[in-house]
Structure 1
Amino acid sequence: MHGVSAQNSTSAQLPKLIIQIPCYNEAETLATTLADLPRDIAGFDIVEWLVIDDGSTDSTVKVAEENGVDHIVRHTSNRGLAYAFMTGIEACLARGADVIVNTDADNQYCAEDIPSLAKPVLEGQADMVVGARPISEIEHFSPLKKLLQKLGSWVVRVTSKTDVRDAPSGFRAISRNAAQRLIVFSNYTYTLETIIQAGRKNMRVVSVPVRVNGDLRPSRLVKSIPSYLKRSVFTIVRIFVIYQPARFFGAVAAVLFGLGFLIGLRFLYFYLTEGVSGHVQSVVLAGVLLTMGFQSLLVAFLADVIAANRKLLEDIRYTQRVMQGQAGNESSASNERKGWT
Structure 2
Amino acid sequence: MKLIIQIPCYNEAESLPITVAELPSHVPGISCIETLVIDDGSTDGTAEIARSLGINHIIAHRQNLGLARAFETGLDAALRLGADIIANTDADNQYPGRYIPELVAPVLAGKADIVIANRQIEHIEHFSPMKKLLQKLGSWTVRTVSGTDVPDAVSGFRAYSRDTALRLNILTNFSYTLDTIIQAGKQGLIIKSIPVETNGPIRPSRLQSSMWHFIKAQASTIIRLYAFYEPLRTFSYIALPFILAGLVLWGRFFYAYFNNTVNQFIQSVTIGTGLLLVGLLIFLFGVQADITSKHRQMTQETLYRLKKLELKQQKQTEDVP
Deviation at 1:38, TM superposition (A): 1.6
The answer to whether the 8 Å contact 2:252/2:265 transfers is: no
* Partner residue in 2 for 1:164: 150
Deviation at 1:225, TM superposition (A): 1.8
Tell me which of 211, 214, 233 is aligned to 1:225: 211
Deviation at 1:46, TM superposition (A): 0.7
Q: Hey, what's the Cα distance between the residues in 2 that align with 1:196 and 1:186? A: 12
* Partner residue in 2 for 1:32: 18
- Is structure 2 residue 66 aligned with structure 1 residue 62? no
Q: Hey, what's the Cα distance between the residues in 2 that align with 1:50 and 1:283? A: 65
The letter for the 2-side match of 1:98 is: D
* Partner residue in 2 for 1:189: 175
* Partner residue in 1 for 2:184: 198
Q: Hey, what's the Cα distance between the residues in 1 that align with 2:147 and 2:75? A: 24
Q: Hey, what's the Cα distance between the residues in 2 that align with 1:150 and 1:231? A: 16
* Partner residue in 2 for 1:82: 68
**Does the residue aligned with 2:225 lie in a helix, a strand or coil?**
helix
**Does the residue aligned with 1:27 lie in a helix, a strand or coil?**
coil
Q: Hey, what's the Cα distance between the residues in 2 that align with 1:285 and 1:66? A: 71
The letter for the 2-side match of 1:119 is: A
Q: Which runs of 5+ in 1 are unaligned?
A: 1-14, 336-341
The letter for the 1-side match of 2:251 is: L
Indicate how the Cα distance of structure 1 residues 167 and 308 shifts in structure 2: closer, same or farther if over 3 A, else same: same
Note the alpha carbon deviations across 1:129-154, whole angstroms, 9 max, x for none. Answer: 00000211111111011001111111
Moved over 6 A (4+): none
* Partner residue in 1 for 2:224: 238
The letter for the 2-side match of 1:140 is: H
Deviation at 1:220, TM superposition (A): 1.4
* Partner residue in 1 for 2:115: 129
* Partner residue in 1 for 2:233: 247
The answer to whether the 8 Å contact 1:113/1:211 transfers is: no
Deviation at 1:281, TM superposition (A): 4.4
The answer to whether the 8 Å contact 2:253/2:262 transfers is: no
Give the stretch that moved more between structures: 90-99 or 22-31.
22-31
Q: Hey, what's the Cα distance between the residues in 1 that align with 2:61 and 2:129? A: 36
The answer to whether the 8 Å contact 1:39/1:48 transfers is: no
* Partner residue in 2 for 1:301: 287
Percent of paired sites with the same residue = 47
Give the stretch that moved more between structures: 285-294 or 130-139.
285-294
| Cα-Cα RMSD | 1.3
The letter for the 2-side match of 1:173 is: A
Note the alpha carbon deviations across 1:219-256, whole angstroms, 9 max, x for none. Answer: 11232222211211111111111111111112323332
- Is structure 2 residue 198 aligned with structure 1 residue 212? yes
The letter for the 1-side match of 2:228 is: I
Q: Hey, what's the Cα distance between the residues in 2 that align with 1:92 and 1:100? A: 7
Deviation at 1:270, TM superposition (A): 3.2
- Is structure 2 residue 29 aligned with structure 1 residue 43? yes
* Partner residue in 1 for 2:268: 282
The answer to whether the 8 Å contact 2:232/2:286 transfers is: yes
